[in-house]
Every structure is written in C-alpha cells, then in structure tokens.
Structure 1
Amino acid sequence: MIRDLEWKDSGVGLAEQLERLEAHLLAQGLVPGTVVAAADPDSLLKLLLLLLLPRLGCPFLPLDPALPAAHRDRLLELANASFLVGGDSGKRVRLRPLAGRASGPSPVPYDPSDPGFAPSRRVQLLISTSGSQGSPRLVALTGGNLRAAAAAANRLLAFGAGDRWLLCLPLHHVAGVSVVLRAWLAGAGVVLQAPFSPGALLRRLERRDVTHLSLVPTQLHRLLQHEPGFRPPPELRVVLLGGAPADPALVQRALALGWPLCPSYGLTEAASQVATLFPPPARWSAGLAGRPLPHLEVALAGDGRIRIRGESVAPWVLEAEAAHALADGAGWFTTGDLGTLDGEGRLTVLGRADEVIISGGEKIHPAVLEAELARCPGIDEVAVVGLEDETWGSRVVACYRGAWPEARVARWAGERLRGAFRPRAFHRVARLPRNALGKLLRGELRRRLQASAR
C-alpha cells in the first residue's frame, strides 16, 4: 500500500478515503466483473478508483475528460462499460449506469482475497491509445502485466519505501498510472500535483523530500523556462523523461543544471517502461533510451521496427473491428516504432515507422531531421511532415515556433541541409498541436497544412 499520499499540499487519509468510496460504490449496485469508467477531471478520484476497483474485481477505464463526447461514447461501448463514475473524491461520488449495459458476473472467477494487482491473468485496466485514423482503441492490461512493470521499474530506479514520487502526469495515461502502482508496490509516498504547474512543482521540490519525478519534454521545457537557473536539490535522484521525442539541446541544458534526467522509451502495450537510460547520463544523443528493463526482451524486425517480449506485454487490444492478440505465437509484439540497438544493447528510438517520409527516393526519419533543425538559433520547437508532391512523391515541410521569420530559417537550413533532407517550405506557427502528454499530433499538423493549401 502507498505509505502516504499528498494532495493539494495536505495529507490524505488513504485507507479512510478508500473505505468510504467502496461503501458508496457498493451501495449504488457495483458488482464484481463490471467495467467502470471515469472521465472526471478529479485526479484524486481516479487515483482512488485505480487502487480500489481491482480489489473489487472490476476493470477500470480512466478517460481523458477533454475527449469529445462522441469519441468517449465509442470507447465506453468498446469497453462494454456498465458504469461511469462522476463527482469528486469526497461524498458526492455518483455511479451512473450506462443505458443498455447490464452488469453481470466476471468471466474470470472473482477471489475476494485478491488484494488487486497481484499476478493474475484478469484484465484490471483498459487504457485508450490512438488507433488508425483516430479510431477508438483500448489496451487491456492484466494484474500480472501491471505488477511486472512496476516491480522492474522499482528495481532499476531504486525506488523503495523511504522514497516519494511526485506525480504531475494525467491518470488516463499509462505513465501516470504507473507512478501510482510503483508506489503501491514499494510502500512509498506519492505527491499528487494536477494539473501541472511549473511554479508549484519547483516550490514542492524545494522541500527536499521528493526523490523521483516523471516528466514529458513539454513539462521540462516549461520548468526551465519558468525558472532558468533552478537547480534541483540532491534528494531528487531520478527524473524519468518520456512520452514524446525530446530535443537534445533541452535535455543537455537540464543535465547541465543538475536535473537527474533518465530518458526512457515506453508503451501503453507494455504497461509503461520498456527501456531507460539509467543512471542519468552526462551527455545524451537524440532518441537514446538505454537498455531494456530486465523483465523484457527487445529486438528489431527486418524492417527496423522495435519488437518486445515479456511479462508486461498486454495480451490483447480492443478495436472497433474486433479484439485481437498483441503478440505472435512466439510472444513477440512488433511495435510501430523504428529503432537501433548498439553493441552495448542500448536502444535508440528513431520515430514511428508510419511517419517515415519518402522524398525523391530517400527515406527521411522526421525525428532525425527535427533534431538537426532544432539546432537553429531561431527555432524553439519544430516538426516536419510529408505532403504529397508530383515531383518528389512527398515534399518535406517544416513547421516551427520561434523568433526568426521563415525566410531566415530557410536560409539557415539551406546552408546546412542538402537534397531531399532540405525542407521545401517553412511555416512559422504560434504552437504545434500536442496531446496532454506533450506528444506531437503529427497527423493533425498534416491535416492543417493540407487544408491551408486548398
């Protein structure tokens, strides 16, 4: 169990809160085996449900409160959810039955002595990820998957009962969920800070009792922007950085200030971490994610895609067409990400296989080109996409946020990049489209450019 939980700068009586929430839900008709969803913005409520529902034998579907209603309803239907929880973490929790969904017994025998997240093949968590063309897709994670991932991360990062992890990631993403499960398994503390606030996070670190922290690159950028000279206290031993590609200049600037960054690569389908660069490096190159965690094997398919096998790989995914197994007959799950493995077994992630741009017969990995363009003094952040072109097949277009005008950036790039690797156009924008974890929405960016060209 989590040793202590802090929420809004105050301690939370976790056992009392869980007991009260359990009584509320059971009184409103919750029975083992029913899928329960929560789309409420109350992070504490989601954390309590995450800890309680597995113990009650009910799979949990945490949803992004910002989802359009139509997309949320498609996910609820896909999960066959019976109840939608709303309200707050106090006494006003409501369990709303979903029309046309009948609750019933679990397809897996329910054992009331199961403490939750024990090694089990029972699905305990459903997490939404992006499907093709934005279609709804749910990854089904078992208690065994979740426990294996949390245990491996705790061993690697030396996270134990005397430690405290600051959680500022949303609990509808596996990265946020995994922080709670690591603390639950270790008997450690959690500081829940949501929504993310750079100033509040830095002031909380100054109390010198936070040992671990998870960030996405956008959050790291905002922290360094908010207080450029801030140096974290030595009690902060690990800052996991993941969720989206990071700018090498940003990472290097943070390392120079003493931030103990550990760049990582993870997947919802693997219950979070796959590889992590630990201990924190002195220098870092784009995409380097370190060695696989000990509970997983990593290999490369013939086309360069990353393959993983191990205890934390989800058994299946649910999509509109059907539910299907993730792994092949030998237990390997082939991801949509491209990578390389060096002689030391360290993984470097190159980007998505479906994002490779073929221009003039050359294969261009957006992340590689973006790392080069990010060196431009007039660019703060940049993304490249391929647009259809009669001559090139696809032409490379760069969108960036920064101080320099487009013509000056184009001159800078023209002096350093050649052939198909030189973007054919540059567009200066106020912001790049990103999701709640700061991951670039490349498809959305491409759609905007295509629409503006019409």
Structure 2
Amino acid sequence: MRENSILMNIGMLLEMAVSAGDRAAVTTGGRSLTASELRGLARAAARRFRGRPAVLYLGANHPAYPVALFGAALAGVPFVPLNYRLGEEQLSDLRSRHPGALELHPADLDALVEPGEPGEEPEEAPGQAPEPDGDAVAVLLYTSGTTAAPKAAVLRHRHLLAYVLNTLEFASAGVDDAALVAVPPYHIAGLANLLTNLYTGRRVVYMPAFDAGEWLETVRREGITHALLVPTMLARIVAAVDGDDAGTPTLRSLAYGGARTPRPVLERALQVFPGTGFVNAYGLTETASSIAVLGPGDHRKALASDDPLVRARLSSVGRPLPGVEFQIRGEDGEPLPTGETGLVFVRGEQISGEYGGRSTLDEGGWFPTRDRGRLDEGGYLFIEGRADDTIIRGGENIAPAEIEDVLLAHPGIVEAAVVGVPDPEWGQRLVAVVAGDGEPEEIRRWVRERLRSSKTPDTVVFRARLPKTDTGKVLRRVLQAELENTHA
C-alpha cells in the first residue's frame, strides 16, 4: 500500500461509501444523513476551511463531526478534535498551540449540517482543490495524559487508510447493520469508528452523552448490531441490567477497550449479553486505533476452558491485526523469549509514533508503546500496565496491574489503583487506592493470600471514586501527587 499512499486521502472512504449505495450513513437524535448528503456537506465545509492552518472541533458527538472531519480532509487541512470537557485553562492552552485555526464550537455545529446555507460559495473546479497526499497530516489527536501532560499525536492519511484497508472488507455490512458510538469524538476510537463503519457500510448512530439506561434503550430502538465501549461504560451498563439478560437481541458485536477491563465486569457482561460476540480491542492514539483484538470465539473458548493457559487468555488483548507485528524487549533493548515480560514494541503501516514532526520509531520502524507485556506461545498479547507505572520496591519491579486485578476480585471493591510513593528504606512503598467497602487489614490480607508479601500494599486508602479520563483510564499522576503529599 505504501507505494500508492502518496495519492490517498481519507476523503476516498467517503467517495467509496457513496459508490456503494446511497443509504443512511449517520444518525443522531432521529435525524439521518446519507453518504451523498454527507459528501455534499463536507465539500461545502471544505470551501470554508481551505487556507486555515487547522480546524479545531470543540463539540460532542454530532452529525457535524463527520462533516468537519471530511471537510478538513478535502481542504487539505489538519483536523483537531479537542476535549471540550477540559477546564478553561487547559483548553486555552491547547487552543493556543494552533494560532489562526478555525474553531467549531457547539453553537456552530447545527449550521454545518444545513444544506444550501445563504451566501455559500459556488462549487469550485476540481483543479482548485489540493491534490490528495497520503503523507499530509489528517488528524492531530491529543493523548489522554494519564502520567504526563497531553501531547499531539500526528496521524497522516496513510496511517488511517492502512488501518481501514488492511483490516476490513469494503461494503461488507448488512443493509440493517447499525453501530452505536458513545465514545467521545476526541478519542481515537471515535475517529476509527466513523471511518470503519462508513467503509463497511454500517450506519453510525451517535450518542451525544453517555447514559447506561439510554444506551440500552438506543440499542433496542435503533436495532443496533455493533457497539464499542470503554470499561467504565461497560461497568455501568452491566450494573443497569435488571436480571440475567440485557434484552438486546439485535446486538451481535460488542467491542471494548481504551483501558483495562476488570475481569468481574467482563464475566458479568458475557452473562447478560449471551448472544453477543465480544471483542477486546487494544490500540493507542499513536497506532491509528486497534493493533490487536481478542475475538468472540476467543472469549467464549477462554470462559469455557478448563485449561488454565487458555482460560488466562480472557485477560489478554488477543493477537495482532493483519499487517501488524509485536516484539517484546528487555531493558537492554534485546528481544525476549516467549512468555517473558518486557517492553511492548509494534510495527506496521498504520503506526505513526509521531509527535509534532518528531518520530519515535527506531531504525527498524518499531514504535515503543511504553506498555509492559508478554506474548504466550499462541501469540496472544498480555498487557501488564504502562512502563511509567512500574513500581520499584527493594530493587524488584512490580506491575500495579497484577495487584489491581487481585483487588478488583475482592467482593467489596469496585475501583482500584496501586501507586508507589517514596520510602527511605525500600525506595518506594505500595499504596492501594480503592473505591468500595472493606477494612484495610482485611484487604491487605486478601492480596497477601493471592500474591507474595512483597506485592501486598503497605497502605490502603479509600476514595469515593478514582480520578479518571473520559475513556476510563485512571489519572495516576493525580493520585501520585495527592499521595506524595499525604502518605510519603
């Protein structure tokens, strides 16, 4: 694909969708846009965007989102969806990084999806539009910043097209297929869901704001066949189900990802959605969405197996997508044998690994995900947390994820995070921050009985809830700052 990517632009996905038949492409609040209507609006938006250094999108899920995305692509302008939920100071900082950019605020969105606006410029000749360039910047996405300040990941047209074209079949969806998108538009999953569903011909149904009860009602009302959730959303939906069946017979596929999913939540979800195929999707902003998946068959097989190695795969993120390679390396940079835990590197056409013109790919094209993980003999990838999260206690590297899994299996705990705070004797001391019920000593004993004593939290701190991003990732830097002031 790389040889021809220089002539490609994600706008071609919209053209392909129109060629496959003019059916509904996007639905919000009972209103739908067909693929051709979406193309017409995107072309009008492109005339408005052309010449700007970037287009900033500061709204929720809305039909204007795909119009703005494709309008920017057709205009040859980077599209930058920002987290509109941030505080004014944080949002102002991000906006200041794009001087001269056109900003689309909530009040601007309805006008963007109205055809034939007064004063609209006439259709331009094809020669006036920029030539498609696969190496041009398509989207700038700010990372969630769980351990550091957010930075803009650069996704070029060729990265996004490689992900879509290498992993999906064009126009493969059934005429009644519909995908419910509740993840925010400034997350890589929101972007990827639009591109992949448009390419396969599946109607996208947007939820402007997530609510567990409304999500279930929307699945039933719209006949939703596919959906993607982050773990916090899945947990709330499972809790909202009354009984042992969610009552969503049309839902064939439910993907989850963006953060670690507590095993009890997943097992309950498999129970209440008995006819649904589950997909665990692992990816990063810098990898243009998913790079590994654990498919429906893997989920059911692992859940039903008596083999501990197979059953353990329910906690994995599956195997690499086509065109993607994984490598596990030690601290010295050398590849590790199967089964050993180290740093996860990934390589493939869809991998960007670029921030503001600076590539982090090594000479072999490998991207350091900064996740710690291991591969089993079947090629299944197990993620054990971020390298930055590793706690060094008495010279031993401890992955918080292992302890957190044990804590989340406790019947009284609903959220858990383990961080290290400075300690004069051990270097770092383990502090478990939990939401739920229980006694500190009883919780410590629970962990000690399942892990060795060196991995038992020295301190257990209770919170009403843990600070998280919109996609369910624990904001460890917030907890770290709090605990270093109170428990160091």
**TM-score, normalised with respect to structure 2:** 0.81
Are the structure 2 counterparts of residues 24 and 350 from structure 1 closer, same or farther at C-alpha, using a change threshold of 3 Å?
Answer: closer
Structure 2 contact 326–347 (Cα < 8 Å) conserved: yes
Structure 1 contact 396–420 (Cα < 8 Å) conserved: no
Structure 1 contact 153–182 (Cα < 8 Å) conserved: no
Return 242-251 or 295-304, whichever deviates more. 295-304
Greater fraction of residues in helix: 2
3-state SS, counterpart of residue 134 of structure 1: coil
Q: Is 1:9 aligned to residue 30 of structure 2?
A: yes
Are the structure 2 counterparts of residues 218 and 131 from structure 1 closer, same or farther at C-alpha, using a change threshold of 3 Å?
Answer: closer
Mapped to 2, the partners of 1:219 and 1:90 lie a distance apart of 27
Q: For residues 324-381 of structure 1, give each alpha carbon's deviation from its aligned partner in whole angstroms, at most 9, with x where no partner exists.
A: 1131222111111011111111111111011111112222111111111112112112
Mapped to 2, the partners of 1:274 and 1:315 lie a distance apart of 13
| 1:404 aligned partner | 438
Gaps spanning 5+ residues in structure 1: where? Answer: 94-109
Q: What amino acid maps onto 1:145 in structure 2?
A: H
Q: Is 1:289 aligned to residue 317 of structure 2?
A: yes
| 1:112 aligned partner | 129
Q: What amino acid maps onto 2:75 in structure 1?
A: L
Are the structure 2 counterparts of residues 189 and 449 from structure 1 closer, same or farther at C-alpha, using a change threshold of 3 Å?
Answer: same
Deviation at 1:167, TM superposition (A): 0.3
| 2:267 aligned partner | 252
Structure 2 contact 64–112 (Cα < 8 Å) conserved: no
From 276, 279, 288, the counterpart of 1:262: 279
Structure 1 contact 149–271 (Cα < 8 Å) conserved: yes
Q: What amino acid maps onto 2:184 in structure 1?
A: P
Q: Counterparts of 1:238-387 in structure 2 under 5 Å?
A: 238-257=253-272, 258=274, 259-280=276-297, 281-282=299-300, 283=303, 285=312, 287-303=315-331, 304-314=342-352, 316-318=354-356, 323-387=357-421
Structure 2 contact 56–82 (Cα < 8 Å) conserved: yes
Q: Counterparts of 1:147-166 in structure 2 under 5 Å?
A: 147-155=161-169, 163-166=177-180
Mapped to 1, the partners of 2:32 and 2:104 lie a distance apart of 24
Deviation at 1:26, TM superposition (A): 3.5
Are the structure 2 counterparts of residues 171 and 402 from structure 1 closer, same or farther at C-alpha, using a change threshold of 3 Å?
Answer: same
Gaps spanning 5+ residues in structure 2: where? Answer: 1-13, 18-22, 114-126, 304-310, 332-341
Mapped to 1, the partners of 2:466 and 2:288 lie a distance apart of 27
3-state SS, counterpart of residue 90 of structure 1: helix
| 2:206 aligned partner | 192
Are the structure 2 counterparts of residues 113 and 81 from structure 1 closer, same or farther at C-alpha, using a change threshold of 3 Å?
Answer: closer
Structure 1 contact 395–424 (Cα < 8 Å) conserved: yes
Mapped to 1, the partners of 2:373 and 2:128 lie a distance apart of 42
Q: What amino acid maps onto 2:129 in structure 1?
A: P
Mapped to 2, the partners of 1:370 and 1:111 lie a distance apart of 56
Mapped to 1, the partners of 2:393 and 2:278 lie a distance apart of 35
From 426, 430, 436, the counterpart of 2:460: 426
3-state SS, counterpart of residue 289 of structure 1: coil
Deviation at 1:263, TM superposition (A): 1.4
Mapped to 2, the partners of 1:244 and 1:170 lie a distance apart of 14
Structure 2 contact 75–130 (Cα < 8 Å) conserved: no
| 2:149 aligned partner | 135
Are the structure 2 counterparts of residues 352 and 428 from structure 1 closer, same or farther at C-alpha, using a change threshold of 3 Å?
Answer: same
| 1:104 aligned partner | none
Return 349-358 or 442-451, whichever deviates more. 442-451
Deviation at 1:231, TM superposition (A): 3.1
| 2:109 aligned partner | 89
Structure 2 contact 147–388 (Cα < 8 Å) conserved: no
**TM-score, normalised with respect to structure 1:** 0.86
Q: What amino acid maps onto 2:29 in structure 1?
A: K
Deviation at 1:278, TM superposition (A): 1.2
Aligned length: 430
Mapped to 1, the partners of 2:279 and 2:398 lie a distance apart of 27
Mapped to 1, the partners of 2:94 and 2:218 lie a distance apart of 36
- RMSD of aligned C-alpha atoms? 2.8
| 2:187 aligned partner | 173
Structure 1 contact 161–186 (Cα < 8 Å) conserved: no
Deviation at 1:194, TM superposition (A): 2.1
Mapped to 1, the partners of 2:264 and 2:415 lie a distance apart of 11
Q: Counterparts of 1:52-67 in structure 2 under 5 Å?
A: 52-67=71-86
Are the structure 2 counterparts of residues 311 and 179 from structure 1 closer, same or farther at C-alpha, using a change threshold of 3 Å?
Answer: same
Are the structure 2 counterparts of residues 266 and 307 from structure 1 closer, same or farther at C-alpha, using a change threshold of 3 Å?
Answer: same
Return 205-214 or 287-296, whichever deviates more. 205-214
From 30, 44, 63, the counterpart of 1:44: 63
Deviation at 1:90, TM superposition (A): 1.8
Deviation at 1:164, TM superposition (A): 1.6
Deviation at 1:154, TM superposition (A): 2.9
Q: For residues 228-272 of structure 1, give each alpha carbon's deviation from its aligned partner in whole angstroms, at most 9, with x where no partner exists.
A: 433354432221110001111111111123242211211111111
Structure 2 contact 220–250 (Cα < 8 Å) conserved: no
Q: Counterparts of 1:71-86 in structure 2 under 5 Å?
A: 71-79=90-98, 82-86=101-105
Q: For residues 366-402 of structure 1, give each alpha carbon's deviation from its aligned partner in whole angstroms, at most 9, with x where no partner exists.
A: 1111111112112112111111111211111111111
Mapped to 2, the partners of 1:253 and 1:352 lie a distance apart of 26
Identity of aligned residues (%): 31
Are the structure 2 counterparts of residues 159 and 127 from structure 1 closer, same or farther at C-alpha, using a change threshold of 3 Å?
Answer: farther
Q: For residues 168-191 of structure 1, give each alpha carbon's deviation from its aligned partner in whole angstroms, at most 9, with x where no partner exists.
A: 000001011100000222222111
